[in-house]
Amino acid sequence: MGFPLWGLATGIGSLPYLNPAPALKLIKHDLAVFPHWPQLPRRSGAEGFVRQFLGALEAQGIVAAGGKPRFLNEADEWPERLTAFYSIYLGACQGDETAIGSFAPERESASGFYDFLETAQAGGFPDAAGLKGQIVGPLTVGFQLTDAGGRPAYYDPGLRELITENLAVAARWQVGRLKVLGKPVLIFIDEPAVSVYGQSTYITVTREQVAADMETVAAGVKAAGAAVGVHSCAAVDWSILLALDIDVLSFDAYGYFNSLLPYRRELAAFLERGGVLAWGIVPTSEAALEENPDTLIKKLHLFWGELAARGVAEERLRRQWLITPSCGTGILPEPLAERIYGLTREVAARLREVVDD
């Protein structure tokens, strides 16, 4: 198999704490074998997952710093700013570590990342078999950022290119920092906005554009020597994501399993080439209060059976998996997030017992 760390539990990214310490404590307790660094969106606006990795664009005056992020393409110095950015970008593409470092987020934008690194370097995750990071997807950024006229930046080919290239190098920087810890690294590209494809109000968003932009970011991850996954927590056209050069597909299995059924052929091919499904079987809502490991595992076995009945190899479904919450928990009450992480740990542990038997 291409990705070695199957059969484990990990998280999507966000947690509701205001400081990294309790987040890292929860991750160490429940996701000790495959920990992720925590995004803390409640801590400040700078930690919102769209803004976290825009630092290089902000530093060159390409994107406005602070407030709602937008491109400053009305500025008189726009050509000079583009030239300065691409000078750094090209240096990063050639492996210049100083240039790559220009794409690092400030600590105030990713406090959980830096505290995670320091904790891991101090031996705080002794049982870790691998490390997981995450970065926002280009489609999501493209529809959150606007141009100077207030139009979504995604519709401007030049601005869309800036977004994807910035994220590709930012992902490369993240992998480089995590790899220092000496463990396999997996990066999820969080792309909820892929759900706009196929909607009548977004008819100019093409399959080819979505795939090309995702591949650009994924290539940045792979160039740095990490595995790459894509996470989306809605009903989407899964054939686009399953055709990408990725190792893991992460989805909200609890709420949107049925959306996967029309793509059984693409899913079978993905598993055949070594792909892993990250099953978001633990709901990130109050539904988690009504569930327990037995009910969630029963639901998961039912889903596997439905796919197997449609021609997807059941043996691969029962082996090539990760267990995660269905989405991030950053907006939930802390006790609920803690229950969700506990369920995630327990479901994965019980599934491993069955596989090992």
Predicted local confidence at residue 1, as pLDDT: 42
| Position 161 in a domain | yes
Tokens 């939930």 sit on residue? 332
| Position 62 in a domain | no
pTM: 0.94
314 C-beta neighbours (distance < 10 Å), count: 13
Predicted local confidence at residue 67, as pLDDT: 76
- How many independent structural domains does the chain possess? 1
| Position 223 in a domain | yes
Predicted local confidence at residue 278, as pLDDT: 98
Q: If you write DSSP's letter for every residue of 80-147 in order, what string do you get?
A: HHHHHHHHHHHHHHTT-HHHHHTTPPPGGG-HHHHHHHHHHHTTS-TT-S-EEEEEE-HHHHHHHSB-
| Position 81 in a domain | no
Q: Which domain holds residue 17?
A: 8-49+109-356
Predicted local confidence at residue 197, as pLDDT: 76
How wide is the angle at C-alpha 264 spanned by C-alphas 263 and 270, nearest 5°? 95
| Position 129 in a domain | yes
| Position 338 in a domain | yes
CATH number of the domain at 352, please.
3.20.20.210
Q: How many CA atoms lie within 13 A of 87 on its CB side?
A: 7
| Position 153 in a domain | yes
Counting as low any pLDDT under 70, the low residues of the chain are 1-3, 198, 200, 355-357
| Position 288 in a domain | yes
Query: Judging by DSSP bridges, how do beta strands 321-325 and 276-282 pair with one another?
Result: parallel
Predicted local confidence at residue 146, as pLDDT: 94
- Taking the C-alpha atoms of residue 134 and residue 119, their distance in angstroms, rounded to an integer, is 18
Tens digits of per-residue pLDDT, 119-167? 999 999 999 999 999 999 999 999 999 999 999 999 999 999 999 999 9
Predicted local confidence at residue 142, as pLDDT: 94
Going by C-beta distance under 8 Å and a sequence separation of 6 or more, which residues neighbour residue 274? 1, 2, 3, 247, 320
Residue 196 CB-density burial (10 A; 0-12 exposed, 13-18 middle, 19+ buried): middle
